[in-house]
Amino acid sequence: MSNENATAVCRYALNSHGRDFVVGDVHGCFSLLDAELAGRGFDLERDRLFSVGDLIDRGPESPSVLDAVRRHRVQAVRGNHEQGILDWRSHTERAHDSERMEAMCTNPDQAIAEWVFHDGSTSELVHNGGQWFLELYRSRRNEERERTQHILSYLSGLPYALEIETAYGRVGIVHAEPVREEWDDLTWSLASGSIATYEREQMLWDRRRWKGRELSTYVDGVTAVIVGHTPTGNVAQRGNVINIDTGASYTNGRITLLDLADVPAWLSRGDLPLTRLLG
């Protein structure tokens, strides 16, 4: 898995002028996000919006990801779907010779079809909802080629963790699983580059906490950690880890916007088990 050029951890000071929200996995459903923010009276000059990652894939508005990020000044962590795009691009640069890249320019539809059939990386990308990126990538139009490069640049700069100061202590955000029992241990390992590759992958992919396979329940040194990745019928909680992926891209799902001021109330309720897995 490629690190690209990401800053591993981004930290944010206390927002003393407005509210801080965290949105669950959006998966290209930016109209839902727009509506939810409007319903909350989101004020761009006072409020801040953070994301657990997986802004893209599956939903119909994935190609507009950069527009949505700019519109709401979204500060996101890297999700497995963002990493999937980067991994695919890295794989194609290594594996495809000049003849195949020329075929992409002269007959992109056929080239993509052959990639999907013969190349496991492309098949996985399409299976995970990344067809939209292939459509951009194959385009001969300068505007769309530029947009493709801007998207790749944005994705490669996404951190693996966010840390936000609040009135009741620090709150962490990672995509799937914090992997360490001590938050400061995790962020130090990320920032120093000493974290193991398998741990970085678990941060993007691990679902054991939500599927009943025991992990350390609490993460010390932080008030709460907000995650997504595992789509559930309702917000779920184990210890001080709160999962807010409620399946925005599924017909029976919805988008969840968590006001960080409400985190103490969530924690006071104790563990909230999964009602059901979506997807």
Which of 155, 184, 219 is a domain's end point?
A: 155
- Among all chains, which residue has been given the structure tokens 């960080």? 260
Containing H/E element for 173?
strand 169-173
What average pLDDT does the structure give for the chain?
88
Residues 43 and 108 grouped into a single domain: no
Whether 175 sits among the annotated catalytic residues: the reply is no
Q: How many domains does the chain have?
A: 2
The dihedrals phi and psi of 141, each to the nearest 5 degrees, come to -75, 130
CA distance 28 to 18: 26
Domain that holds residue 95: 81-155
Residue 271 binned pLDDT confidence (cut-offs 50, 70, 90) = confident
pLDDT value for 182: 97
Q: How many CA atoms lie within 13 A of 140 on its CB side?
A: 8
Residue of 27, 72, 81, 175 with catalytic role? 81
What are the pLDDT digits (tens) for 126-152?
Answer: 889 998 998 888 777 888 889 999 999
Residues 86 and 35 grouped into a single domain: no
Structure-token pair, residue 76: 């996101």
- pTM of the entire predicted model: 0.90
Residues 116 and 197 grouped into a single domain: no
Percentage of the chain beyond pLDDT 90 is 69
Q: Is residue 171 part of a domain?
A: yes
Residues 71 and 175 grouped into a single domain: yes
Residues 164 and 51 grouped into a single domain: yes
CA distance 90 to 87: 5
Partnered with residue 188 across adjacent β-strands are none
Which of 155, 174, 195 is a domain's end point?
A: 155
pLDDT value for 150: 96
Sequence-separated contacts (24+) of 183-191 with Cβ below 8 Å: 183/219, 183/220, 183/221, 183/222, 183/225, 184/221, 185/221, 186/161, 186/219, 187/8, 187/9, 187/161, 187/163, 190/8, 190/9, 190/160, 190/161, 191/8, 191/9
Which of 129, 155, 181 is a domain's end point?
A: 155
Q: Is residue 276 part of a domain?
A: no
Q: Is the pLDDT of residue 178 over 70?
A: yes
- Among all chains, which residue has been given the structure tokens 């790749």? 152
pLDDT value for 161: 98
> Mapping DSSP to helix (H, G, I), strand (E, B) and coil, where does residue 218 land?
coil
Residue 2 binned pLDDT confidence (cut-offs 50, 70, 90) = very low
The dihedrals phi and psi of 153, each to the nearest 5 degrees, come to -65, -45
What are the pLDDT digits (tens) for 96-133?
Answer: 545 555 655 666 566 665 655 455 577 788 889 998 99
**Span 196-203, mean pLDDT?**
96
Comparing C-alpha atoms, which of 247, 271, 245, 270 is closest to residue 258?
Answer: 245
Q: Is residue 165 part of a domain?
A: yes
CA distance 149 to 157: 12
